[in-house]
């Protein structure tokens, strides 16, 4: 309700903040995956990474989570651009659902919780669908 009273300009600002939050989350996920992969060894982290040790299961999960976020970030940003200022309340809801679901998704994926991870991913996809519906 507060969003409807605030008007479209506030919604656009909030969508901008949510977009930045999604980008920051993506960056953190990439950096975490890289840190897990190099095992925080400064030589490995600053080298060419030609001779990395085999990844641990956690490093593999961190890498897959980061790649999945990159794929979804592309869709999220494209939808934010497509929505423009149309239906700000619906766009806001979709963006919030997506970003919150992705924040929840990350530790669940890292922990290796299979079914819950898929449910949370689906909630994020629903957020994208709500966001997409705001473009019409």
Q: What is the CATH number of the domain that holds 34?
A: 1.20.120.550
Is 7 inside a domain boundary?
no
Cα–Cα distance, 27 to 8 (Å, whole number): 29
Contact call for residues 99 and 22 (beta carbons, < 8 A): yes
As for how many domains the chain has, the answer is: 1
Contact call for residues 64 and 117 (beta carbons, < 8 A): no
At 20, is the pLDDT very low, low, confident or very high (cuts 50, 70, 90)? very high
Q: What is the pTM of this model?
A: 0.87
CB atoms near residue 47 (< 10 Å): 12
Tokens 């990159």 -> residue: 70
Question: What average pLDDT does the structure give for the chain?
Answer: 90
Task: Tally the C-alpha atoms within 13 A of residue 100's C-alpha that lie toward its C-beta.
Answer: 9
Is 1 inside a domain boundary?
no
Domain that holds residue 82: 21-38+55-133
Is 63 inside a domain boundary?
yes
Is 90 inside a domain boundary?
yes
Is 124 inside a domain boundary?
yes
Cα–Cα distance, 14 to 8 (Å, whole number): 10
Is 11 inside a domain boundary?
no
CA angle 29, 45, 23 (to 5 degrees): 25
Per-residue pLDDT reduced to its tens digit, 69-118: 999 999 999 999 999 889 999 999 999 999 999 999 999 999 999 999 99
Is 10 inside a domain boundary?
no
């Amino acid at each position: 309700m507060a969003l409807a009273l605030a008007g479209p300009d506030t919604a656009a600002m909030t969508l901008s903040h949510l977009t930045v939050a999604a980008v920051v989350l993506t960056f953190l996920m990439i950096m975490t995956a890289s840190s897990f992969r190099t095992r925080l060894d400064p030589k490995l982290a600053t080298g060419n990474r030609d001779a990395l040790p085999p990844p641990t299961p956690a490093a593999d999960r961190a890498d897959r989570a980061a790649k999945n976020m990159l794929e979804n970030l592309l869709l999220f940003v494209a939808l934010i651009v497509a929505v423009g200022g149309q239906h700000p309340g619906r766009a806001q809801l979709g963006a919030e659902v997506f970003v919150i679901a992705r924040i929840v998704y990350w530790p669940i994926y890292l922990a290796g919780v299979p079914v819950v991870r898929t449910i949370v991913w689906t909630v994020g996809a629903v957020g994208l669908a709500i966001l997409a519906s705001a473009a019409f």
